[in-house]
Amino acid sequence: MRMGMDISGRINRDGAIQSVFVMGLVLSTLVFTHGCKKPATSTEDATTDTGVSIEFETPATPQEKVDRPDGASQAPLPIPQELLGTLGLPELTAGIAAESPLSIDQIRAWLDNPRQHETLEVLLPVGLQAGVANVQGVDKNPLTRAKIELGRQLYFDRRLSADNTVSCADCHHPDDGYGRHTQFGVGINGQMGNRNSPVSYNRILSGPQFWDGRAASLEEQAVGPIANPIEMGNTHEKAVATVRDIEGYRRQFEKIFPDEGVTIETIGKALATFERVLVSYPTPYDYYEIVRNTQAQYAEDEIADLEQDEPELFARYQFARSESRNMSESAIRGRTLFFSEKAACTACHAGANFTDELYHNLGVGMDQENPDPGRMAVTKLEKDRGAFKTPTVRNVALSAPYMHDGSQKTLEEVVEWYAKGGHPNPHLSEKVKKLDLTDQDKKDLVAFMHSLTGGFAPVQSGGLP
Ligand code: HEC
Ligand code: HEC
């Protein structure tokens, strides 16, 4: 697992900037007005980005020249800003300042800048951008810098819990790939539920939330944990009163939600907005796809000509070529397997975010005495017993353990689970069957999932009102 680990900096829980993607901060600027001569030739998956026409408005400046000898073991290059879209820009989650409490003057100056209140255009980082048609929720709850920042503060603020000990980040921490490396979420007074913390990124491409989809939207989901007795153990009334009593918060809510001020709904809207800009960064796999598709569209001499004819496209290709060296031979074989009928992972982990957003029973936990009913608790249909929402596998190497009950510790274990055909039970998905995989096949699948690691923008965890 090179890529994501090399670049993830350590995190200062008391509030220093979290440089999960240190290099991403040093942004060279190049413009890619993506002019493909013919449509993408790859039809086997929706995760390539070459079928999508992305227009970037940033003014063109020459690419910084980065000297790096050949070889995958080198430090990653700074990611060109254009590859991050608008939502992957580090500035969105950088915070007003690092120290807490923020002063009223700092908050006032921030809110007085009209730029913070403009609606952001939704452009996702390369890889995810292919899923832009599935973007959820921003029509009803538009993205603005001010709202993202307010949501960021609330996300890291333990004062939302009954005894000031637990924040959202305590179970969905950037340090742990926005999940938690514990089997179950640990709430106030050390209480534990029976489900693993799912990841809180790429939620912008996801409709119903929770393992069983019981929350219709991210807004609805976000306020659940506050009043959940074993998570943050508070009441909505008390949480609203706490936030309202903090002048820095009150001022932000009044400016951002002028008709509503601080309510549980506006707290939910701000949290959801912050989560919608937690997006996974481009991965070795995504760069590999750019290279593959460019080479499928242009002959070698044509590619050389691009340097003159389409410098932006050429620069993007060159960058991708360099980064795709992190895609090992094993990962390339794993990629073929993942999309193949033989392993059939894309029967469910499909699309830009590698999930069909549907519910399936793999038999996980079905050998327990009282198995978790999963989706059935929502639909009341027997056929949904033990079915859970397909999670994304982007950045999945960062958020062990796995499955709704956190019962599988490694990606190797997960692949073994699929290889043996899950756990037999009356509701096992028809798409889960014993697989005929060699040991090398299994390693390759794991290597492919590691190649889906691109990290995230750095996020400020301090700077609270
Ligand atoms: C005590 C640990 C804990 C805390 C605190 C917590 N969560 Fe969670 N979160 C979980 C667990 C466990 C689940 C899965 C529960 C389920 O599916 O029934 C979850 C589910 C979610 C999901 C759904 C993801 C998906 O794929 O469907 C999101 C989003 C989320 N939490 C965001 C938040 C936010 C925002 C906060 C703060 C207001 C928060 N969480 C606080 C543990 C926690
Ligand atoms: C039938 C649909 C389906 C197929 C086919 C499928 N998955 Fe999954 N996958 C899921 C669901 C649903 C879960 C969560 C199950 C649970 O927690 O009970 C999951 C969980 C995972 C996880 C754990 C992610 C996490 O955050 O906990 C990984 C990794 C994974 N799958 C990889 C694969 C690979 C590799 C393949 C192909 C060999 C594959 N999946 C095939 C639906 C599927």
Shortest-distance Cα residue to atom 37 of ligand 2 = 345
- Give the structural domain span for 242: 1-465
pLDDT band for position 78 (cuts 50, 70, 90): confident
Lowest-confidence segment of 13-27, 147-161, 294-308, 370-384 by average pLDDT: 13-27
Asked whether the predicted pLDDT for residue 57 surpasses 60, the reply is: no
At 75, the pLDDT band (50, 70, 90 cuts) reads low
Pocket test for ligand 2, best of 403, 432, 446 (most atoms within 8 A of CB): 403
Average pLDDT over residues 40-68: 33
User: By percentage, how much of the chain surpasses pLDDT 90?
Assistant: 82
* Secondary structure (H, E, C), the chain: CHHHHHHCCCCCCCCCEECCCHHHHCCCCCCCCCCCCCCCCCCCCCCCCCCCCCCCCCCCCCCCCCCCCCCCCCCCCCCCHHHHCCCCCHHHHCCCCCCCCCCHHHHHHHHHCHHHHCECCCCCCCCHHHHHHHCCCCCCCCCEHHHHHHHHHHHCCHHHCCCCCCCHHHCCEHHHCCECCCCCCECHHHCECCCCCCCCCCHHHCCCECCCCCECCHHHHHHHHHHCCCCCCCCHHHHHHHHHCCHHHHHHHHHHCCCCCCCHHHHHHHHHHHHHCCCCCCCHHHHHHHHHHHHHHCCHHHHHHHHHHCHHHHHHHHHHHHHHHHCCHHHHHHHHHHHCCCCCHHHCCCCCCCCCCCEECCCCCCCCCCCCCECHHHHCCHHHCCEEECCCCCCHHHCCCECCCCCECCHHHHHHHHHCCCCCCCCCCCCCCCCCCCHHHHHHHHHHHHCCCCCCCCEECCCCC
Instruction: For ligand 1, say whether the CB of 49 is within 6 Å of any of its atoms.
Output: no
pLDDT band at 76 (very low <50, low <70, confident <90, very high): low
Domains: count for the chain: 1
Task: Tell me, using a 6 A CB cutoff, whether residue 316 lines ligand 1.
Answer: no
Query: What is the mean pLDDT of the segment spanning 425-439?
Result: 97
Determine which residue's CA is closest to atom 43 belonging to ligand 2: 348
For ligand 1, mutation pick of 150, 158, 167, 171 (most atoms within 8 Å of CB): 171
- Ligand 1 contact, 225 CB (< 6 A): yes
Centre of ligand 1 from the C-alpha of residue 425, in Å: 28
CATH classification at residue 113: 1.10.760.10
Nearest CA to ligand 1 atom 36: 168
CA of 241 to the centre of ligand 1 (A): 22
What's residue 40's pLDDT? 30
Higher pLDDT, 61 or 155: 155
Lowest mean pLDDT of 62-71, 270-279, 330-339, name the range: 62-71
pLDDT 10s digits, 142-198: 999 999 999 999 999 999 999 999 999 999 999 999 999 999 999 999 999 999 999
Q: Is the pLDDT of residue 71 over 60?
A: no
By most ligand atoms within 8 Å of CB, the mutation choice from 173, 231, 236 for ligand 1 is 231
18-53 pLDDT, tens digit each: 333 333 333 332 333 333 333 232 333 333 333 333
CA of 202 to the centre of ligand 1 (A): 14
